[in-house]
Amino acid sequence: MNSRPRALSGFPEFLPVGRIVEQRVLDLLRHEFELHGFASLETRSVEPLSVLAGKGEIDKEVYAVRRLHADEATADELGLRYDNTVPFARYVTEFSGKLNFPFRRYQIQKVWRGERPQQGRYREFTQADIDIVGAGSLATHHDLEIPLVMLGAFARMSDELGLPPVTMHVSNRKLAEGYYRGLGITETGAVLQRIDKLDKIGPEKVAALLTDELGLAAEVADKCLALAEIRSGGVELADRVRALGVEHELLDVGLAELTEVVQTAQTYRPGRLVADLRIARGLDYYTGTVYETVLEGHPELGSICSGGRYDSLADDGKQTYPGVGISVGVSRLLGPLVADGTASASRSVPSVVLVAVTDEEQRGEALAVAAALRANDIATEVAPRADRFGKQIRYAERRGIPFVWFGTDQVKDIRSGEQVQADPTRWEPPAADRTATVKLG
């Protein structure tokens, strides 16, 4: 006797209603990305481990891949991608001669990480990325464009699906690195990695990491934490940083870049983007502006959308390809919302109409009605059995199908009970019923 299969921790699978929610969100993301001229792209699922492990401390997160019967001498050292950015960088260098720069792409694919599953964190999940990459150089105005595109996508989800508002927190790695150098710190990357833990372990424990692990003086550690406490949505950002009394040329560059992003964003998405200098982003390929995004009312989700500027991730030995990008953790956003019922759909199938079958001898007639409705782009299915009409109506109710068609010329709205005569070649459902209604709040 076969035992019932067990769920694999960290590998979420939606029921049909959840999948309808996910598809609707992905459709809105695609639409917004394409409105801004981003082309769709997919990259392969596997990369050489040397590529995946080449940037940042991510070895523990990579799933290695090998053929079942491969011997040790010939086994390919491959791994599943843990994000879309590193494979995209490889893609850019491989196909640079066939791309037009600045190259704008969006990418919606599964990624895999071998970390411990927990609320909002999975081992297999869907990410939706946008990136702009230049050849040799990339203007800094794209550091503003990228978050505005993504904030536009979230605004669309709020307007159409009821998603709660989001707030994007922005910082700049040049600003932070220049500040640390102005304090005499040489291992700036190590400091950034500790500061990135602030929200998880708090300032006292971070201060201990800075002094005990990195050997910083207590007053220097306090200065690092003082920078991380600055949060601003307006013109006072520069004054608050300057008031800390630290000077360095790289600090000046990063502060100017961040100020431009924050102040300009208020014109287009007021209140949706704030400077938050505790944002560090753990991966070390970021070199400038960095982003993290939270969903209001759902702090348990953490950052649902993040990214930043990278000036040296892609390099073919002759040319460097700087870029800036941001990624939505679609599964991270939707998984908990679908599980607790916050995100839902009005039906579990795309079908608008169920065509009833009087008896099996008349199934051909029902198939003809369904074909006529589908010719008008009306999603239709035919009843699986010629049961009593009451059973066929209940079948439609369980699936959320709003209309049942009887014979060749009668259609019933099973919610209101209204039944009218109609021609299947001309009948149109209400616009609100053509697709399932999705709600995220």
Angle of helix 173-182 relative to helix 249-268, nearest 10 degrees?
150
pLDDT tens per residue across span 176-198: 999 999 999 998 989 988 998 89
* Residue 24 is labelled as binding a ligand: no
Strand pairing partners for 126?
110
Length of the chain: 441
Please give the pLDDT value at position 282.
Answer: 62
Please give the pLDDT value at position 55.
Answer: 54
Burial class of residue 14, CB neighbours in 10 A (0-12, 13-18, 19+) = middle
> Does 23 score more than 90 pLDDT?
yes
pLDDT tens per residue across span 259-307: 999 999 999 999 999 999 999 876 667 899 999 999 999 998 999 999 9
What is the C-alpha separation between 291 and 147, in angstroms, rounded? 8
Please give the pLDDT value at position 72.
Answer: 66
Q: Which of 146-155, 243-252, 294-303 has the lowest mean pLDDT?
A: 294-303
Which domains, and CATH codes, for the chain? Answer: 351-439 (3.40.50.800)
Alpha-carbon torsion (96, 102, 104, 110), positive or negative = positive
Beta strands in 237-368 (DSSP E): 273-276, 289-295, 305-315, 320-329, 344-345, 353-355
> Does 390 score more than 80 pLDDT?
yes
Span 313-318, mean pLDDT?
84
Cβ atoms of residues 45 and 107 within 8 Å: no
Q: How confident is the model at residue 121 (pLDDT cuts 50, 70, 90)?
A: confident
Residues in contact with 429: Cβ distance below 8 Å, sequence separation at least 6, in sequence order: 352, 353, 378, 402, 403
* Residue 85 is labelled as binding a ligand: yes
What is the C-alpha separation between 46 and 139, in angstroms, rounded? 31
* Residue 435 is labelled as binding a ligand: no
Span 251-264, mean pLDDT?
96
Span 330-347, mean pLDDT?
94
* Residue with the two structure tokens 């909002």: 120
What is the C-alpha separation between 168 and 306, in angstroms, rounded? 9
* Residue 43 is labelled as binding a ligand: no
> Does 3 score more than 80 pLDDT?
no
Please give the pLDDT value at position 24.
Answer: 97
**Chain-centroid distance, C-alpha 240:** 32
pLDDT tens per residue across span 85-119: 989 999 999 999 999 999 999 999 999 998 888 77
What is the C-alpha separation between 135 and 230, in angstroms, rounded? 34
Please give the pLDDT value at position 69.
Answer: 76
* Residue 113 is labelled as binding a ligand: yes
* Residue 240 is labelled as binding a ligand: no
Span 404-422, mean pLDDT?
97
CA distances from 116 to 36, 120, 124, 273, 299 (A): 36, 11, 11, 31, 19
Q: Share the mean pLDDT of the chain.
A: 93
What is the C-alpha separation between 309 and 141, in angstroms, rounded? 11
Please give the pLDDT value at position 73.
Answer: 60
Span 131-160, mean pLDDT?
97
* Residue 83 is labelled as binding a ligand: yes
* Residue 263 is labelled as binding a ligand: no
The amino acid that residue 226 corresponds to is A
* Residue 30 is labelled as binding a ligand: no
| Vertex 323 angle, CA 138 and 184, to 5° | 90
